[in-house]
Structure 1
Amino acid sequence: MKFRKLGRTGLEVSVVGVGTWQFGGEWGLNYTQAEADAILDKAAELHINLIDTAECYGDHLSESFIGDYLSRRKREDWIVATKFGHQFHDLFSRTDAFKPEEVLAQLDASLKALRTDYVDLYQFHSGPDQVFDNDDLWTLLDKQVQAGKIRHLGISIGSNDNLHQTAQATKVNADVIQVVYNRLDRVPEQRVFPSCEEQNLGVLARVPLASGYLSGKYKPGAEFQQNDVRNNHDAEQRNEKLKLVEEIRRNEVPEGVPMAEWALAWCLQHPAVTSVIPGCKTPEQVESNARAADLELSVEKA
């Protein structure tokens, strides 16, 4: 495994992390603690130290799996990133909750679920500009940093062209931007990444496998399980993406290299990107994801 400094935080994070939206039940599987443990144990074995979760991956459900695991391991071995701003109601159903008093309650609930006294990275979660531009919110968060509940603040931008929030990261004392970035979606290269580099922000690339489309497992016309978030995608657009994936596989992926590993390594080639945070349903997928670190220097941009 390779490691990079997460912007100006000083944290050394593995270039491949573990995304845990799947633990919340919206990717076709319901997890047991033993299954979550197996995924995180494999990550630890491979020297992955970054876990990304959120308040609304289930009602703090993903965090609870992680917290149970961490309670039986060394907390200091892990960099835990979670998020705030949404109230989970049911699968694919949540509402915004960005008022300062709501965020404070979410933070305390996240700390309880994670069974920890602090989170390493607490991220504004895909909220609109009008709630982002609330000085009272960032004043509250700064106080939580001073109290030791939060080590660093971040912004998980909803639109991957949201320069408004990215450009104000330093002003609100945020050190990290999380953004959708993958071979099918290169929008951040135009405006977001230059702003991140100018401010020395860490960058976490989420959805680096394009919701699994770049995993190499799916062909045009593929169907997904009922409680899989990809069923909410437009069917025509889904098939167009899968056709493009086939072209990329033929023209860009070196022979003998698994497409998923190549796709993660492709993201890591951009100098602004610190780490990719792919989801993983099994320990085997964690192992495949980790191998992308070894491909990092051998992949060229198209």
Structure 2
Amino acid sequence: MQHRTLGKTGFSISEISLGTWQVGGKWGEPFSHDNADHILNAAVDAGINFIDTADVYGDGESEKAVGRLVRSRAGERIYVATKCGRRLQPHTAEAYQPAALRGFVEDSLRNMGLDTLDLVQLHCPPTEVYYRPEIFEVFDRLKEEGKIQNLGVSVEKVEEGLKAIEYPNVTTLQVIFNMFRQRPAELLFKEAQRRDVGVIVRVPLASGLLTGKFSAQTTFDKDDHRNFNRNGEAFDKGETFSGVDYNTGLAAVEELKKIFPDQPNLAPVALRWILMFPEVSCIIPGASKPEQLLSNLKTEEIPALTSEQLAAVRGVYDRMIRPQVHQLW
């Protein structure tokens, strides 16, 4: 497993890490602590040392599982990142208040049974929140109290990321970036690197589209966000299939497969493509079963993509995806 530095946190983290949205549900499977424990321990056994969770994943159950993992493997350094803010109801800019955010951080500490959190990220707040310094200042107080070590942000839009990293206490930036969401590489990555802000890439496989395993006949469970959020009914539609129309995505995947005819599984190639960008600190693909985790780890066996392959991927994006999504996020 290769490691990269997570910006000014100084953490040396596995370039392939683990996101636990799937572990917490909303992917067609009910939450299972046994399954979560299996996946999390398999990840650490494979060399992953950075786990990303959130207080809303499985209504806190994902955090509990991550905390249990860290406590059970006390001799190993496992970095824990969680998120806060999405529990606000309604989820509006006005609802973001320092006292509420403090409460969420303290709830996460209780959920995980930890004394401090390595990284707490604002969880895709409304755009207006990024223009309120008092929201960012409360995390300085929490750091002084030893409850957190670092503040990060998870954003929907490039513009939000650019604003967030102006705050000197923001150490990491989590953003969607993949073969179907390429805009962050144009300016956001450069600014993050200039400010020594670590970049955490989420939704690296476009909700599974970039595995190459889906078809027009594929169905998703009624509780799976890939079924109920295709048009953004529940949350930002950019989180589901990266905002790409499903059939357009399927067609683009077929074009990508032609670029990599020797690869039976597109997922590791799609993850390797992301890691070709040196500004990226880590990717956090999820897994709802250990087999998916092992598939993601095959990325380490994929050689660097050639300039011709990179240009061909860009061509598919420019021709088929860019007109639909580029300026939206």
- Helix, strand or coil at the partner of 1:74: coil
Greater percentage in helix: 2
The aligned residue for residue 301 of structure 1 is: 310
Query: Alpha-carbon deviation of 1:222?
Result: 2.2
- Helix, strand or coil at the partner of 2:13: strand
Tell me the alpha carbon deviations over residues 16-61 of structure 1, each in whole angstroms, 9 at most, x when there is no partner. Answer: 1111011222011113211111101111111100101112113222
The aligned residue for residue 266 of structure 2 is: 259
Tell me the alpha carbon deviations over residues 259-280 of structure 1, each in whole angstroms, 9 at most, x when there is no partner. Answer: 1111111111012111100010
Q: Percent sequence identity over matched residues?
A: 35
Query: Alpha-carbon deviation of 1:189?
Result: 1.2
Q: 1:39 and 1:205 mapped to 2: Cα distance?
A: 20
In 1, are the aligned partners of 2:31 and 2:58 still within 8 Å (CA)?
A: no
Map residues 1-302 of structure 1 onto 2, 5 A cutoff: 1-74=1-74, 77-87=77-87, 95-96=91-92, 97-159=95-157, 161-162=158-159, 164-231=160-227, 232-234=229-231, 237-250=245-258, 252-295=259-302, 297-298=304-305, 300-302=309-311
In 1, are the aligned partners of 2:161 and 2:188 still within 8 Å (CA)?
A: no
Q: TM-score with structure 2 length normalisation?
A: 0.84
Residue type of the alignment partner of 2:99: E
Listed as ranges, the gaps of 5+ residues in structure 1 are none
Listed as ranges, the gaps of 5+ residues in structure 2 are 232-240, 312-329
In 2, are the aligned partners of 1:138 and 1:172 still within 8 Å (CA)?
A: no
Change (3 A) 1:281 1:215: same
- Helix, strand or coil at the partner of 1:123: strand
In 2, are the aligned partners of 1:55 and 1:110 still within 8 Å (CA)?
A: yes
| Two-structure CA RMSD over aligned residues (Å) | 2.0
Change (3 A) 1:260 1:108: same
Change (3 A) 1:167 1:198: farther
Tell me the alpha carbon deviations over residues 191-238 of structure 1, each in whole angstroms, 9 at most, x when there is no partner. Answer: 211211211211011000001101121013422111110112149911
Tell me the alpha carbon deviations over residues 78-124 of structure 1, each in whole angstroms, 9 at most, x when there is no partner. Answer: 111111111178xxxx7355211110110011111111111111111
Residue type of the alignment partner of 1:115: G
Q: 1:11 and 1:255 mapped to 2: Cα distance?
A: 35
Residue type of the alignment partner of 2:4: R
Query: Alpha-carbon deviation of 1:129?
Result: 2.6
The aligned residue for residue 323 of structure 2 is: none
Q: 1:229 and 1:238 mapped to 2: Cα distance?
A: 13
